Chain A
Amino acid sequence: MAVIEIDKLVKTFGAFRALDGLDLRVEAGQVHGFLGPNGSGKSTTIRILLGLLRRDSGDVRLFGADPWRDAVRLHRRLAYVPGDVNLWPNLTGGESIDLLGRLRGGLNPRRRDELLELFGLDPTRQFRTYSKGNRQKVAVVAAFASDVELYILDEPTSGFDPLVKAAFEEEVRRIRAAGGTVLLSSHVLAEVEALCDRVSIIRDGHTVVTGSLTELRHLTRTTIGVETARPLTGLEALPGVHAVREVEGRTRLEVEPDHFDALLAHLAGFGVHALTSAPPTLEELFLRYYGNQVGSRDLAGSGPSDLDGSADAADRR
C-alpha cells in the first residue's frame, strides 16, 4: 500500500514555480530518502503533504486521502520534524516535547524518557537556550515518542554530532523493524546510504530519478582503468564512452552502463594486462544528479525514471 502518492504536483509562489510536476511514491514500511539541492522544493513538497500549503495542480494522496481536506484526521497518524525547529522560547524542552506529543494525540512516556537518555537532552532548560542540535533533538524526541505510522523528517540531523547521528540511525532502524514508514529529507549521503530503501532525487521542482541506491548506481557511468600490451586506439569512436585520458601510463575512461559489452569486446583486441572498475561514489552520483551537467542522455528520458525494471543493467557488471 502506498502511504504517499504524489502525481505531477505543481505549486507556484507568484511567478516562481517551486514545484513543477513532481512525482513521489512511498510504500508502507519503506524508509524513503528525499534528496535535492537547496531550494529544489523538498520542504514545499512536505508542507503540501502536511496540508499547510495548497497545491495548484496535480494529485496528492496521504494514506489514500486528501492532505488539505483531511489534515487533522491524517495528522493523528504521522509525526513531523521541521527543517528549522522553532518552538516556544519560554517553555522547557520537556514541556515542548509533551505538548507536541499531546497535540498529536498522545505520546509514549516510557519511550520519551528512553529517547531523552539516548539523545542526551536536558529537558529542564528553556527552549531559547538550546543550540541548533538540541532544538532538533526536541522535535525528534517528540516525533519518535509518538506511536504513529508515518514519520516525515526534514533534514533532521543537520545539527547533530556523530554520536547523536548514530543514535538517530538506530531509532530509524527500529521504526522500520516495527513496520513504520519514514520520509527522510537529508543532505547527509552516508546517512541516506545507511538508512534508505529507496531514494527520490528532485531538482528544480520535479523528480529527476527514483529508485534504490543500487539501481541509481547502475544508471550512471562507471570509471574504468586499463593497461594493455598494445596502444589503445579507437576508444573515442565507441558509443557510450567518455572522458578518455592517460594517467600514469594507464588509460582511464568513463562508460555508460548500457555499453559495457562493446567496450570490453574492443579492449580484448589490445591485450589487457590490468583492468579496474570503480562504481560511482555516492558523492559523484549526487553531484551528477544535482549539478547542471545532468543530461537526459544519462537517464531514461528527461522525465522521472522508475528503475524497478532495470535489472538488466545489474547483470552487466
Chain B
Amino acid sequence: MNAFAGTGMLTRIVLRRDRVRLGLWLLGVPLLGYALAVSVFGIYPDEAARRGYAVTSASSLVARAFNGPIGGAEMGAVVVAETYATAAVIVALLSTFAVVRHTRQNEETGRAELLGSSVVGRYALLTSALLVVVGVNVVATVLLAVALIATGLPVTGCIAAAAAIGGVGLAFTAVAAVTAQLTVTSRGANALAAAAVGIAFLVRAAGDVFGDASPDGTRLESAWPSWVSPLGWGNQVRAFAGERWWTLALPVALLIVAVGCAYALAQRRDVGAGLIASRRGPGQAAGWLRGPAGLAWRMQRGTLLGWAVGTAVFGFCLGVAADEFQAMISDNPAAADVIAAMGGGGRLVDTYFAAVLGLFALAFGAYVVQALLRIRADESEGVLEAVLATAVGRSRWLGTHLAAAALGALALLLVAGAGTGLGYGVVAGDIPGRVLALAGAAAVWLPALVVVAGVVIAFVGLLPRWSVGLSWAALLTFLLLGQIGTLLELPQLALDVSPFTHVPAVPATDADPVPLIFLLAVAGLLLSAGAAAFRHRDVPN
C-alpha cells in the first residue's frame, strides 16, 4: 500500500487546472509589492516625514491595530508598516482558498471519489494541493524579494519582508489543510479558514495595541498575543529593523504540525465525510418562504449579514481613525495633497469620509455582482429551470433578484455610513448627528451600484455564457479606473466609463442630483436591455 501513489500526476493536474490563477498570483503579489512600496516613497519622501509617521504609528492605537508594530523611521520600516497587514491578509486568503479548492472541493463534487478508485493513495490529493500551494508561496516570496530589491531598499530587509509574507502564506496553507478535513462543503472549509484569518488579525491587533513604544517613540514592541497569531509572526521578523530570522521557523513549524494533523484526520475519515456533521434543518418551509422574494432573502441573508458585520466594524474603526487622520495629515503636506486629489475641496476630514465611503461603495459593487450572478449560477445548475416551470415568470424572477441586490446594497451603504459616523461620533462628539450625516452621504453611492447591477443584468440577458467573467471584469475596470486612473493621468473620457467617477464626493461636496439622475438613467437603459433579452432567450442557455 502506498498512500502517496499518484501524487505526481495529481500535482500536474492542479498546476494545469490553475495555471491562470497561480500565474496571476505569482505576478500580482510582486507587482503589488513594488507599486505599494514606490507609492509610500512618494508620501514620506524625507526623514522628518518618516519620523513623524513612525511616532504617530507607535502611539496611535488605531495605527497599532491596523498596521501592526512600527519598526522605526527607516524607509523600509515605513513601507512594511503601510503594506504588510494588507499583503499578509491577501496572501493568507489566497493560500486558504487554493488549498480548499484542491482538497475539499474535489471531494464535494465527487471528483475525489472517481480519483480514489484509480491508483491514487489516500494522502495523494492533500499532498498534491500542499506541494503546489507551498511551492507557489516559496516562488512568490523569491519574486517579491526581487521586486522589493528593485525599488532600491536594503537587500537584507527586502528578503526578510518577502519571507515574512511567505511565512504567512505557509501558516494559512497549514490552517486550510486542517479545515478542509473538518467540514463537508468547500464553502464551510473556506469559511472556517477565513474565520481563522480574522481571529489571527484580531489577536495580533490586541497584542500590538497593548505593546510598548520605545523611548524615542519610533518603535513598538508587541505584547505576547502578537506572538500567538500567525499574522503577527511576520511582524516579529522585523524586516528593515534588526531582522530576527529565527521567527521564520514559527510558520514552518506550524506547517509541519498541521500537515501531520491533516494526514491523521484524512487517515481516520471516509472520503467525502467531514468531522463536523452537516446540520439538519427544518422539515417544513417557514411561512414567509413562499415566493421569489422570500427565497432571495433566504439565500442572501447569511452573506448580507457577514458583509454588514464586517462593514460595521470596519466603518467604526475608520470613523475612530478620522480624528487621528486629521492630526496626521496636518503634519504631512504631501499626504494632504494626495487626499485632496482624491476628491473635492472642503474640510480635510470630509474629504477623508468621502474617500472612505467611495471605497466601501466599490467593495459593495462586489456584493451586487455576486448577488446578481446567482441568477446565472441558478441557470447553469438547473435550479432556474425548475423555478421557471412553476407559476413564476421571468420578469418577476429577475425583478426580485434586482430588488434584493439593490436593497442589500442600500442597507450596506447605510451600515457603512452609520458605522463610520458612530466611530467618529465616539471620538469627536455628536453621535446622532454624525451617524445621520454619514449614512445620508453613503446613500448617495446607490445609483452607481444600480449601474453595476444594470451591467450584470445586461450581461446575463445578452451574453449569458460570458456573463460571469464579463461582470467581474467590468467591476475590476471600475475599480482600477477609480484607484489608479488619475495616477496614470488617463483622459477624463476613460475615467467617465466608471459609474463611481460620477458620484459627488459627499460630504466634501454637495449632493448634486444631476449626475445621480444621469446614473439612474444609464442603469435603467442597461436593465431594460438585459431584462428584454432575458425574457426572449432560451433557458437554460
A joins B in a complex: yes
Chain A positions near chain B (C-beta within 8 angstroms): 47, 50-54, 71-73, 75-76, 78, 80, 82, 84-88, 90-100, 102-105, 123-126, 128-129, 139, 152
Q: What residues of A have a CB within 8 angstroms of the CB of B473 in the complex?
A: none
Q: What residues of B have a CB within 8 angstroms of the CB of A125 in the complex?
A: 278, 280-281
Give the distance in Å from the alpha carbon of A152 to the alpha carbon of B390 in the complex.
12
Q: What residues of A have a CB within 8 angstroms of the CB of B292 in the complex?
A: 103
Say whether A86 contacts B289, CB under 8 Å: no
Q: Check B382 for interface membership: any CB of A closer than 8 A.
A: yes
- Specify the chain B residue showing the minimal Cβ separation from A78: B389
Q: What residues of B have a CB within 8 angstroms of the CB of A51 in the complex?
A: 388
- Specify the chain B residue showing the minimal Cβ separation from A127: B281
Give the distance in Å from the alpha carbon of A85 to the alpha carbon of B382 in the complex.
7
- Specify the chain A residue showing the minimal Cβ separation from B389: A80
Give the distance in Å from the alpha carbon of A246 to the alpha carbon of B392 in the complex.
63
Q: Check B346 for interface membership: any CB of A closer than 8 A.
A: no
Closest 7 CB pairs of A and B: A98-B285, A92-B281, A103-B390, A94-B283, A86-B382, A80-B389, A123-B283
Q: Check B46 for interface membership: any CB of A closer than 8 A.
A: no
Say whether B393 contacts A72, CB under 8 Å: yes
**How many A-B pairs fall under 8 Å by CB?**
113
How far does the Cβ of B277 sit from chain A's closest Cβ, in whole Å? 10
How far does the Cβ of B2 sit from chain A's closest Cβ, in whole Å? 31
Q: What residues of A have a CB within 8 angstroms of the CB of B298 in the complex?
A: 91
Q: Counting chain A CB atoms within 10 Å of each CB, which of B281, B382, B538, B540 scores highest?
A: B281
Say whether B278 contacts A98, CB under 8 Å: no
Q: What residues of B have a CB within 8 angstroms of the CB of A90 in the complex?
A: 299
Say whether A72 contacts B386, CB under 8 Å: no
Say whether B282 contacts A82, CB under 8 Å: no
Q: Check B117 for interface membership: any CB of A closer than 8 A.
A: no
Q: Check B391 for interface membership: any CB of A closer than 8 A.
A: yes
Q: Take A86-B381, A102-B291, A103-B391 as given contacts and tell me if A129 and B386 are in contact as well, using a CB distance cutoff of 8 Å.
A: no
Q: What residues of A have a CB within 8 angstroms of the CB of B286 in the complex?
A: 95
Q: Check B16 for interface membership: any CB of A closer than 8 A.
A: no
Say whether A52 contacts B391, CB under 8 Å: no
Cβ 8 A contact of A50, one of B185, B282, B388: B388
Residues of chain B at interface, number, CB under 8 A: 36
Say whether A88 contacts B391, CB under 8 Å: no
Give the distance in Å from the alpha carbon of A123 to the alpha carbon of B536 in the complex.
36
- Specify the chain B residue showing the minimal Cβ separation from A76: B391
Say whether A129 contacts B283, CB under 8 Å: no
Known: A76-B391, A152-B389. 7 other contacts (CB 8 A): A47-B538, A80-B390, A91-B298, A95-B285, A105-B391, A126-B280, A128-B278
Q: Take A72-B391, A76-B391, A129-B184 as given contacts and tell me if A82 and B278 are in contact as well, using a CB distance cutoff of 8 Å.
A: no
How far does the Cβ of B189 sit from chain A's closest Cβ, in whole Å? 14
Say whether B295 contacts A99, CB under 8 Å: yes
Say whether A72 contacts B392, CB under 8 Å: yes
- Specify the chain B residue showing the minimal Cβ separation from A83: B382
Say whether B390 contacts A100, CB under 8 Å: yes
Give the distance in Å from the alpha carbon of A91 to the alpha carbon of B222 in the complex.
46
Give the distance in Å from the alpha carbon of A53 to the alpha carbon of B539 in the complex.
6
Q: What residues of B have a CB within 8 angstroms of the CB of A152 in the complex?
A: 389
Q: What residues of B have a CB within 8 angstroms of the CB of A105 in the complex?
A: 390-391
Question: Can you sample 23 A-B contacts with CB below 8 Å?
Answer: A50-B388, A52-B388, A52-B389, A53-B538, A53-B539, A54-B536, A72-B393, A76-B391, A82-B382, A82-B389, A88-B299, A92-B280, A93-B283, A94-B284, A95-B282, A95-B285, A95-B286, A99-B290, A102-B290, A103-B391, A104-B390, A124-B283, A126-B278
Say whether B391 contacts A104, CB under 8 Å: yes
Q: What residues of A have a CB within 8 angstroms of the CB of B538 in the complex?
A: 47, 52-54
Give the distance in Å from the alpha carbon of A28 to the alpha carbon of B229 in the complex.
70
Give the distance in Å from the alpha carbon of A103 to the alpha carbon of B289 in the complex.
10
Give the distance in Å from the alpha carbon of A124 to the alpha carbon of B285 in the complex.
10
Render B351-385 as a binary contact track against A, CB cut-off 8 A, 1 for contact. Answer: 00000000000000000000000000000011101
